């Protein structure tokens, strides 16, 4: 691809993000720095700059960039934050989080996805990410509390273990819904006395499942 066409695609990509409500300058810069294309293999790699979800290995998907941007923006990440991501997938979302936070822990139920994501993190020189195969519904109690938690799979309700691992003053962003047809992206803020819930937008994510995946 020639540099002019590449720059044009990058401009269109950022314009699409802004038009969907991604306005935080730090989030936009991180998404400009982390190229989505290497995270997508095969026939779909040429569609990396389109605002659409795309299939990846293990029957999973890479979310559309505007949803990645909105979820990241809703976390209100600070440079000293410790973040937990449930659902590593391609590793694209974790790479963006790593540009904005001090430390990112990301877990996935599929060993293959974690293995491939680590290769991307190494290529991008992102050494503040710890990726591991684990049951995401349980979180990572050994590393809790987390300033921010991001869940990239839908549960019927915010899982209790994840709520418990959120620091007071912390934010969790996750899709909730009883079917893959009706889901809402919600933002949970923890206070001394409980949790506040805010609905952000309708979304569609794969279901959050217990246990490790069979490959």
Tokens linked to 80 = 């000293």
Instruction: Report whether pLDDT(149) > 80.
Output: yes
Q: pLDDT band at residue 180, thresholds of 50, 70 and 90? A: low
User: Alpha-carbon distance 34 to 191, whole Å?
Assistant: 33
What tens digit of pLDDT does each residue of 63-88 get?
999 999 999 999 999 999 999 999 99
Task: For 139, list phi and psi in degrees, rounded to 5.
Answer: 65, -150
Q: How far is CA 186 from CA 25, 116, 200, 202, in A?
A: 22, 29, 5, 9
Contacts within 8 Å (CB) and 24+ apart, 194-198:
195/163
pLDDT above 60: residue 1: no
pTM: 0.94
Q: Which residue in the block uniquely carries the two structure tokens 């987390």?
A: 146
Active-site positions read: 63
Whole-angstrom distance, CA of residue 104 vs CA of residue 72: 13
- The token pair that represents 140 in the structure block: 């990572």
Averaged pLDDT, 199-209: 89
For residue 215, name the pLDDT band (cuts at 50, 70, 90).
Answer: low
Number of H helices and E strands in the chain, helices first, is 6, 9
Task: For residue 167, count other CB atoms closer than 10 A to its CB.
Answer: 15
Token pair recorded at residue 162? 């994840």
Please report the pLDDT score of residue 3 as a whole number: 63
Residue 154 in tokens: 């839908």
Q: How confident is the model at residue 188 (pLDDT cuts 50, 70, 90)?
A: very high
């Amino acid at each position: 691809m020639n540099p002019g066409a590449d720059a044009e695609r990058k401009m269109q990509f950022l314009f699409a993000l802004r038009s969907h409500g991604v306005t935080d300058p730090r989030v936009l810069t991180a998404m400009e720095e982390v190229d989505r294309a290497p995270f997508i293999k095969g026939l779909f790699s040429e569609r990396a700059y389109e605002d659409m979800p795309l299939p990846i290995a293990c029957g999973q998907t890479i979310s559309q960039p505007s949803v990645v941007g909105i979820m990241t923006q809703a976390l209100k990440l600070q440079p000293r934050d410790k973040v937990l991501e449930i659902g590593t997938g391609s590793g694209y979302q974790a790479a963006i989080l790593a540009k904005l936070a001090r430390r990112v822990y990301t877990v996935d139920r599929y060993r293959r996805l974690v293995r491939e994501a680590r290769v991307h993190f190494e290529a991008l020189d992102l050494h503040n990410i710890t990726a591991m195969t684990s049951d995401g519904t349980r979180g990572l109690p050994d590393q809790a509390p987390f300033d921010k938690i991001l869940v990239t799979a839908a549960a019927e309700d915010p899982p209790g273990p994840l709520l418990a691992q959120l620091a007071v003053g912390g934010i969790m962003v996750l899709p909730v819904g009883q079917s893959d047809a009706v889901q809402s992206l919600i933002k949970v803020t923890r206070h001394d006395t409980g949790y506040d819930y805010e609905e952000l937008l309708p979304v569609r994510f794969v279901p959050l499942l217990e246990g490790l995946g069979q490959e």
